[in-house]
Amino acid sequence: MSIKIALLGFGTVASGIPFLLKENSDKLVQAAHSKIEITKVLVKDIAEKERLLAAGGNHFNFVTTIDEILNDKEISIVVELMGRIEPAKNFIIRALEVGKHVVTANKDLLAVHGAELLEIANKNKVALYYEAAVAGGIPILRTLVNSLASDKITRLLGVVNGTSNFMLTKMVEEGWSYEAALSEAQQLGFAESDPTNDVDGIDAAYKMVILSQFAFGMTVKFEDVAHQGIRKITPEDVTVAQQLGYVVKLVGSIEETKSGLAAEVTPTFLPKSHPLASVNGVMNAVYVESIGVGESMYYGPGAGQKPTATSVVADIIRIVRRINEGTVGKAFNEFQRELVLAKREDIKSPYCFSILTPDSKSQVLRLAEIFNTEDVSLQQILQQGTDGNTARVVIITHAVNKTQLENVIRKLQATSGFKLLNTFKVLGE
């Protein structure tokens, strides 16, 4: 018996799916216990259908209305690969409501409307799987569900945005400016003409929303994930980091403190020996700290046609297997706890402050007093004269909490003569 599926959309990722189904058919049948057959593909309109047919897609059954798929009783699984919120959301809801299982790679949709969709899937006893939504080809969600079910995760760190990581790699390894790196990323097609979601940490924050459910059982909202991007990072910041033994990366983190969960995305100094420090270019990695395994890392491509399609097909196989076993419909992730967010005073980390000061002897003392007033102790101070009139002072603190951090930043900004150039979270302690 073969299981019939439909694709919504036939862009880059979607067209990787028939490739995998064909190249790997024997193995797939052993894993899924059935053949898997794409019987319908939804495209936008007649014009697109004709374009695809003309381009050699005549072995696909293209349709132009969702009803042709929803009303087709033979189709068990709908694979949504259109992207964006609408009409994807509407189509997924309708598919779930008519009892079809859904696989999607739509991260934005899941990060913002995931809870609603999961509830509809649950009510209709159908599966909604989305391994490809986080870190494309890295099988991180299913690994958290299955293999780390036995473990208690205390912190998760991720380099999960390929575009910004590509740019930072160019800045760190080749001394490029932010602007040059962005322009290269756009030319290579890694960054869109409006790069906001990538460079401002929004895309990474979406992924933290989804990862928090799988790693900590808590449904953090997008608004709960503070995000700061890489726009302000200068070649000088990168150089200072290197001098102090660090690499700059845009890191998403989720941590369980004693009062609750804290999630954020922020430019971070990683010690050079940290496994995430050598994740370069468009590659992604998720690093997990836990009471059982201790430390583990999952590394791979964060995007791309075949990596993403591989994760999508892994989801399809799992659903087909469960259809055959008669156990389909359980939630992708069953780990659930009440959401409790951390208190600001429990969210602690060392920080790096890069400050421009008048180049006179007493300035470091004035700076030290500001930190001292907020009860923040210092780990490292690096002073670099710049033009004779001003100096650049880089201070790495011991752990500070969010309240202390804000107070220090406010005071630095309010003190005449000082200019706070940048702040970085520092991994350590």
Residues of each annotated binding site for NADPH: 107
Indicate the residue among 53 and 297 with the shorter CB distance to a second copy.
297
Tokens in use for 277? 């420090």
Indicate the residue among 65 and 278 with the shorter CB distance to a second copy.
278
Residues that bind a second copy (CB under 8 A): 16, 20, 23-24, 26-28, 30-32, 131, 137-139, 142-143, 145-152, 217, 273, 275, 278, 280, 290-301, 304, 306-307, 309-314, 316-318, 325-327, 334-337
- Tokens 């011991």 found at: 398
Q: Among residues 40, 89, 100, 207, which one is catalytic? A: 207
Q: Which one-letter DSSP state was computed for residue 376? A: P
As measured in angstroms, the least distance from the Cβ of 415 to a second copy is: 41
As measured in angstroms, the least distance from the Cβ of 155 to a second copy is: 15
Pairing mode, if any, of strands 153-159 and 246-256? antiparallel
Beta bridge partners of 38: 5
Q: How many CA atoms lie within 13 A of 270 on its CB side?
A: 24
Tokens in use for 23? 């190249």
Indicate the residue among 148 and 199 with the shorter CB distance to a second copy.
148
Q: What is the Rg, in whole angstroms, of the alpha carbon atoms belonging to the chain?
A: 24
The CA-atom distances, in angstroms, between 145 and each of 142, 327, 333 are 5, 17, 6
Indicate the residue among 35 and 142 with the shorter CB distance to a second copy.
142
Indicate the residue among 35 and 113 with the shorter CB distance to a second copy.
35
Active site residue 207: yes
Please, what's the largest Cα pairwise distance for the chain?
81
Report the binding-site residues.
Answer: 107, 192
Indicate the residue among 309 and 393 with the shorter CB distance to a second copy.
309
Report the binding-site residues for L-homoserine.
Answer: 192
As measured in angstroms, the least distance from the Cβ of 201 to a second copy is: 24
As measured in angstroms, the least distance from the Cβ of 395 to a second copy is: 29
Tell which phi-psi region holds residue 210, choosing left (phi > 0), alpha (psi between -120 and 50) or beta: alpha
Helix (H) or strand (E) holding 316: helix 305-325
Q: How far apart are CA 282 and CA 303, in angstroms?
A: 8
> Strands of 35-42's sheet, edge to edge?
62-63, 35-42, 2-8, 75-80, 101-104, 128-129
As measured in angstroms, the least distance from the Cβ of 246 to a second copy is: 15
As measured in angstroms, the least distance from the Cβ of 215 to a second copy is: 11
DSSP readout, 248-274? EEEEEEEEE-SS-EEEEEEEEEEETTS
Tokens in use for 399? 């752990």
Residues marked active site are found at 207
